[in-house]
Amino acid sequence: MYTFIKNKHIIYKKYVLEVIIIQSLDEGKYSGIDVSNWQGSIDFSQVKNSGVQVVYMKATEGNYYTDTSLNRNYSGAKVNGLLVGFYHFFRANIDPKEQAKYFINSISGRTPDCRLALDIETTQGYGPDELTSRCIDFLEEVKRLSGLDVVVYTYTSFAKSNLTSSISQYPLWIAHYGVTTPGYNGVWDSWIGFQYSDSGSISGVNGKCDLDKFMEEILLSCTETIPGSRPSETESSNSNNGTYTVQAGDTLSGIAQKYGTTWQSLAQLNNISNPNVIYPGEVLKVSGGSSNSNSTAVGGTYTVQTGDTLSGIAQKYGTTWQNLAQLNNISDPNVIYPGEVLKISGGSSNSGSTAAGETYTVQAGDTLSGIAQKYGTTWQKLAQINNISNPNVIYPGQVLKIN
């Protein structure tokens, strides 16, 4: 028997009265998005102008992966006055405290505006009691190490089936698409974050992204820099480890002059599409292995290396980025991927990365979106036909169906 009273769902079950109070979408105060390296290079000035106020960004996963766009996303969001939050994708089969330390170390030296988020979406074989306990261990260790408040991100059906009420002591950021009010989750009676779409379109973001509404409680009561072992700006700015942390007032040409190189080389090495835009706090590579060690063109093709740009590749081979874009059917010349094989001339590629029949073998540096772009499809379709639950995780040697 179900009776509905405005925003209160009164559910009678075995003579026990449960009152589930869940706010609707229009009660959210702040508009937000959450992003990762999946979105590629983001123009946060456009994001800001589109009305977005909060940006959550992936920081880490397990105890082994730091998002490759973390530094640039953080710098870009901060310099444009957006409220920043970080999330960690939890792997239940890895020690929770190790994951907490890895998470905090990866974001140390940065100043979040929003609660630190646990993203729990997989059980990896654990039952509700043990999974909940491991999540709580992670959350408590994050609070201890950072001194900051936390929030739990999950989706409605997952919470209902895999978490217990013990975790309700922490506020909820819930994902439930296609509705204006999240459904019954069995654990929480309110949310401070509501991810209502995974296919939003925001100016400045390539492709689709998640859309959120947040309550006031998502914000930290005070903003503090997270302690940890990240080097200070002074240390990084005089580094001997091949990196440089951008300071206020820096230009790419000025940094290049300091290190006896060119701004073009730095732009290529750091995959910077607009050399006029760098952000304080951004960590730049200032040295690296020779790009021609294993990236030379063979048989009229070139395999993209980390830090490459289309214009830089064109310059190497005496052509233009426009010609390369046309030859390789590249719609956005600012987006190329490490491991991608480009035609330099009319000859066909002889790389081992080509599709055999209707399959493709993943190469180091590949992304699902990059593979999709090569074959004129979408990452969503590839994820569906290959039963990929997390599109951010594919492995070299993995064989994917293309259609």
121 is catalytic: yes
Q: Rounded CA gap, 247 and 100, in Å?
A: 29
Q: Where are the domains of the chain?
A: 18-218, 233-285, 290-349, 355-403
pLDDT of residue 233: 38
Neighbours of 279 (CB within 10 A): 19
Mean pLDDT, consecutive 10-residue stretches, the chain (403 aa), reads 41 45 87 93 95 97 90 92 97 94 93 98 95 98 96 97 98 96 94 96 93 97 75 40 74 76 79 74 66 42 74 72 82 76 56 50 72 74 82 76 80
Q: What per-residue confidence (pLDDT) applies to 131?
A: 98
Is 311:265 a contact under the CB 8 Å cutoff? no
Is 141 catalytic? The answer is no
Domain 233-285 shares a fold with domain 355-403: yes
- For residue 145, what is the enclosing H or E element? helix 128-146
Residues 6+ apart with CB under 8 A from 118: 87, 88, 90, 135, 138, 139, 142, 150, 151, 152, 153, 170
The confidence score (pLDDT) of residue 116 equals 98
- Strand pairing category for 341-343 and 16-21: unpaired
pLDDT of 68: 87
Rounded CA separation 166/382 (Å): 37
Catalytic residue among 95, 121, 189, 332: 121
User: CATH assignment of 233-285?
Assistant: 3.10.350.10
Q: Which CATH architecture has domain 355-403?
A: Roll (3.10)
User: 280 and 75 in contact (C-beta within 8 Å)?
Assistant: yes
pLDDT number for residue 241? 55
**Which top CATH class is 290-349?**
alpha beta
In this structure, CATH architecture of domain 18-218:
Alpha-Beta Barrel (3.20)
Q: What is the pLDDT of residue 228?
A: 61
| Amino acid 103: pLDDT | 96
